[in-house]
Chain A
Amino acid sequence: MALQITRSCVNCWACVDVCPNDAIYQDTPHFLIDDGKCTECLGDHGVPQCAAICPIEMAIVNELGEFLNPPGSLTGIPIEKLKEFGLWREAA
């Protein structure tokens, strides 16, 4: 089991510093998660740390492709507004 970073990532480094497994590395066009190292923080923390600090919605997904921070969940901007401004996606 491992999490993944999507194209929504803005390369802010926040996740890199809090990952207990050093599983996150710099790449272009955005950071990536080494699936051999990622444990989804099981045993270390109650919640995956990358997803707990990531400021960008839709940037981190689980193996099913589900957003850990779905649209609107971090900013509180209503879905209709996100759609109006082209900031909404159904899947990664």
Chain B
Amino acid sequence: MELPVISNTVPVAEGGGCASSGCGTAPDALGHLPDHIRAKVQDHPCYSEEAHHYFARMHVAVAPACNIQCNYCNRKYDCSNESRPGVVSELLTPDQAIKKVLAVAAEIPQMTVLGIAGPGDPLANPGRTFETFEQLSARAPDIKLCVSTNGLNLPQYVDRIAKHNIDHVTITINCVDPEVGARIYPWIYWENKRITGAEGARILIEQQQKGLQMLTDRGILVKVNSVLIPGVNDEHLKEVSKIVKAKGAFLHNVMPLIAESEHGTYYGIMEQPEPTPEQLQALQDACAGDMAMMRHCRQCRADAVGLLGEDRGDEFTLDKIDVMDVDYEAAMVRRKVVHDEIIEKLDARRGIVTPKLDGIPEGSRPVLMAVAGKNGVVAEHFGHAKEFLIYEASPAGVRFISHRKTELYCGGMDACGDGDVIDAGATESLLDRNIRVLDGCEVVLCSKVGYEPWAKLEAAGIAPNGEHAMEPIEEAVMTVYKEIAASGKLLPAIDNKKVA
């Protein structure tokens, strides 16, 4: 439906959730996709690295029940300071969910995508999940619908997924080998029985693979999420990536395991190590091949609202949406204007190619730099950065690698009021922790650094740099890389490593 443009004054979000200006490897990291798929994902923040700067998503928590147990999940947990999958503060009925979605869509016109992701498994709650989708596709046809699932019930619901115009499905596939699966999934609920160990994992894997094939056969876009669990499925994920790609998944998202003992998960309590940023990056690179890898995923909560990297859920609690009066017909007109503006902007950007670096000697080694950025510029004090954007500079140019959080998961025990209090003496200082987060980086770019962190950073072999405040990130990273090159520290690569 074509809607008339009635106003050009609606502000378009700038940057917002993600602090980087271009945390894609190229202007369009989805460039290898066929046009019809690209058209579907260009305004989807969870699939397109570019789009996530401009378009927002929301999840509604209508699906509490689950039919499997994962060793990284604890169904008891509910803390509003936490940001990780499976966590939710307010469970909604389908009617409440509709109300919330319409309110958010009217208030945040950049919100293009509604997902049902939990806190349990959406397809283990078919009644609540499909009622929500059905009402939404009727009342808000301009919102894209997605669903995330563990895949166990997927084959039986593929036709209903197709019927409700849900054209994006995410399946979490952590393994294709039941023996590996037995170390990830202690049990599944299947055909009225709890089935444990490798047998349970075998059934789950079979259903996931069958469901994946059925979806891609119907032209429904499938993204595969995998949780990287060091020592359990790290090497194995390379095989997973090959298989899901062969079956037609268009994107593979390898995410790091989150396993803190205070979350009370099996892995948390059993002290299963989380992957280091280097391990994650190495695996993402190994799995990449010619398949798009996601590097901007923020592992959102099952009730997240807003741009990736921000959560505006607090503005849309039940008591608040109750008193909102939403005229959705009018909102759709405003939304169309905003969407068109953003798409126009993205199209304009697509023509711009990041320049290759000149003056860098052939064979120079790449350098990782951490940036305390905001809205695409070097903007934050070292101590104020909630996340660092990691860039790699090499003779080929500058590319975004990942973001690393400095304040992980929880604001602290005072805020949670639950769980075991961590012995203050046992916890490393925030500064030490932040420096550890930057492991592997040689430079940190920020607007300012204090004396204490300066010394500690230098001691850790990371050069603090406050000379590029408010400069665009990519330009600043290039300048610093050229300076390092000029000092002769990039060549020859092998000798440099020996010295280090």
Listed in ascending order, the chain A residues whose CB lies under 8 Å from chain B are: 10-14, 16-18, 45-47, 49, 52-53, 55-56, 74-77, 81, 85-87
For chain B, residues 179 to 197, give those with C-beta under 8 angstroms from any C-beta of chain A.
Answer: 186-187, 189, 192-194
- Contacting pair A52 B266 (CB below 8 A): no
Give the CA-CA distance A65 to B69 in the complex, in Å.
25
Q: How many residues of B contact A (CB 8 A)?
A: 26
Ranked nearest first, the 3 interchain pairs of A and B with the lowest CB-CB distance are: A14-B65, A53-B189, A13-B64
Choice from B67, B186, B261, B420 contacting A53 with Cβ under 8 Å: B67
Q: Name the residue of chain B whose CB is nearest to the CB of A14.
A: B65
Beyond A17-B124, A17-B125, A56-B76, 15 additional contacts (C-beta under 8 Å) are A10-B75, A10-B76, A14-B65, A14-B120, A14-B124, A14-B189, A52-B192, A55-B66, A75-B69, A75-B266, A77-B266, A81-B269, A81-B270, A85-B264, A87-B264
- Contacting pair B65 A52 (CB below 8 A): no
CB of A31, distance to nearest CB on chain B (Å): 11
For chain B, residues 87 to 130, give those with C-beta under 8 angstroms from any C-beta of chain A.
Answer: 91, 119-120, 124-125, 127
Point out the residues of chain A lying under 8 angstroms from B186, CB to CB.
74-76
Choice from A11, A12, A46, A75 contacting B193 with Cβ under 8 Å: A46
Point out the residues of chain B lying under 8 angstroms from A55, CB to CB.
66, 69, 75
Point out the residues of chain B lying under 8 angstroms from A46, CB to CB.
192-193
Give the CA-CA distance A18 to B191 in the complex, in Å.
11
Q: Name the residue of chain A whose CB is nearest to the CB of B121.
A: A14
Give the CA-CA distance A86 to B186 in the complex, in Å.
21
Give the CA-CA distance A16 to B269 in the complex, in Å.
29
Of the candidates A10, A53, A87, the one having the most CB atoms from chain B within 10 angstroms of its own CB is: A53
Give the CA-CA distance A75 to B266 in the complex, in Å.
6
CB of B312, distance to nearest CB on chain A (Å): 25
**What are 14 residue pairs bridging A and B, where the CB atoms are less than 8 Å apart in the complex?**
A14-B67, A16-B65, A18-B189, A47-B192, A47-B193, A52-B193, A53-B67, A74-B186, A75-B71, A75-B186, A75-B266, A77-B270, A81-B270, A85-B420
Assuming the contacts A56-B76, A76-B186, asked whether A12 and B266 have C-beta atoms less than 8 A apart, the reply is no
- Contacting pair B420 A86 (CB below 8 A): yes
- Contacting pair B269 A49 (CB below 8 A): no
- Contacting pair B193 A85 (CB below 8 A): no
Assuming the contacts A13-B65, A17-B65, asked whether A85 and B269 have C-beta atoms less than 8 A apart, the reply is yes
- Contacting pair B64 A12 (CB below 8 A): yes
- Contacting pair B269 A12 (CB below 8 A): no
Give the CA-CA distance A67 to B125 in the complex, in Å.
26
Give the CA-CA distance A55 to B125 in the complex, in Å.
15
Point out the residues of chain B lying under 8 angstroms from A49, CB to CB.
192
Point out the residues of chain A lying under 8 angstroms from B124, CB to CB.
14, 17
Q: Name the residue of chain B whose CB is nearest to the CB of A76.
A: B186
Assuming the contacts A46-B193, A74-B186, asked whether A11 and B64 have C-beta atoms less than 8 A apart, the reply is yes
Give the CA-CA distance A76 to B186 in the complex, in Å.
7
Choice from A12, A13, A52 contacting B194 with Cβ under 8 Å: A52
Give the CA-CA distance A76 to B75 in the complex, in Å.
15
- Contacting pair A85 B261 (CB below 8 A): yes
Q: Name the residue of chain B whose CB is nearest to the CB of A81.
A: B269
- Contacting pair B194 A53 (CB below 8 A): yes
Give the CA-CA distance A81 to B186 in the complex, in Å.
17
Q: Name the residue of chain B whose CB is nearest to the CB of A69.
A: B194
- Contacting pair A76 B266 (CB below 8 A): yes
Point out the residues of chain A lying under 8 angstroms from B269, CB to CB.
77, 81, 85
Give the CA-CA distance A49 to B190 in the complex, in Å.
11
CB of A16, distance to nearest CB on chain B (Å): 8
For chain B, residues 426 to 470, give those with C-beta under 8 angstroms from any C-beta of chain A.
Answer: none
Point out the residues of chain B lying under 8 angstroms from A16, CB to CB.
65
Point out the residues of chain A lying under 8 angstroms from B261, CB to CB.
85
Give the CA-CA distance A56 to B187 in the complex, in Å.
12
Point out the residues of chain B lying under 8 angstroms from A85, CB to CB.
261, 264, 269, 420
